[in-house]
A = this chain, B = another copy of it.
Amino acid sequence: MANPTAAILVIGDEILSGRTREGNAHFLAGELFARGIDLREVRIVADVESDIIAAVNALRVRYDHVFTSGGIGPTHDDITADAIARAFDVSISVNEEARAVMAERYDRLGIEFNEARLRMARIPQGATLIENAVSAAPGFSLDNVHVMAGVPEVFKAMVAVLMPRIPGGLPLTTASVRMNRAEGEVAASLTELAARYADLSLGSYPFLSDGKPGTHIVFRGADPARVAEAVSLWRAEWPDAV
């Protein structure tokens, strides 16, 4: 059976203005890869309702899972929960379970449960909460869309709660070989090997180190023995591989 597929949707003007370097998608990409979930696409859109709705609706029919990051805080520009409700055409209102969890934490820490914070308890009808061990205000899953916070510490805490609920696939085996040679020098040999090992994915990632060209060759596949075999053949052909 094929592995489940996924997309990540990052919501936030601060990424598109260059102010903040996106990190949540990178973190989640590694988690999904390790669990055999095939991340096919990432999109970053602004805090604009129509853009969020269009992206969610395009991605949720195409992939098994959509993970979102950002836009579920207490301020006027946090519109993700409302946009998701509109994308699914369901109502949104204060969720009593969410309100209770937040009230418990705010009481304990002497934080005022004001109207802005109450906004964060608004959850679309039919959603399941994703607990937030850091600051209480939860994320939620609605059908195959999983809505999480943008603050990295909170995002990671929500991913930790969510992952065990999502069926994984067969994790790929990965091996990597570093070449102190330019990509153009090893390309023909790699193309030949890739044709012989069509069941594997062979990637080549050029880099510059102190101005000198190098290439990482990455071998990926479901069968560890086939990956090991391809790596051995490569090393036999290029004895100077690191």
Contacts of A28 in B (CB 8 A): 18
Contact code string A80-118 (vs B, CB < 8 Å = 1, else 0): 000000000000000000000000000000011011110
Q: Which of B26, B46, B111 contacts A22 (CB 8 A)?
A: B26
Question: Which of A33-41, A161-169, A232-240 makes up part of the contact surface?
Answer: A33-41
> So how many copies of this chain end up in the complex?
2
A188 and B41 contact, Cβ closer than 8 Å, known pairs A19-B218, A207-B151, A218-B14: no
A74: Cβ under 8 A from any B Cβ: yes
Say what secondary structure dominates the interface of chain A: mixed
Distance between A107 CB and nearest chain B CB, rounded to angstroms? 14
Q: Which residues of A3-26 have CB atoms within 8 Å of chain B's CB atoms?
A: 13-23, 25-26
Contact code string A168-187 (vs B, CB < 8 Å = 1, else 0): 00000010000000111101
Distance between A87 CB and nearest chain B CB, rounded to angstroms? 17
Question: Which of A125-133, A140-148, A197-205 makes up part of the contact surface?
Answer: A197-205
Contacts of A76 in B (CB 8 A): 187, 190-191, 194-195, 202
Q: Which of B16, B42, B202, B207 contacts A29 (CB 8 A)?
A: B16
A75: Cβ under 8 A from any B Cβ: yes
Determine if A74 and B29 form an interchain contact, defined as CB atoms under 8 angstroms apart: no
A32: Cβ under 8 A from any B Cβ: yes
Q: Which residues of A contact B (CB under 8 A)?
A: 13-23, 25-33, 39-47, 51, 73-77, 111-112, 114-117, 119-120, 134-135, 151, 153, 174, 182-185, 187-188, 190-191, 194-195, 201-208, 213, 218, 220
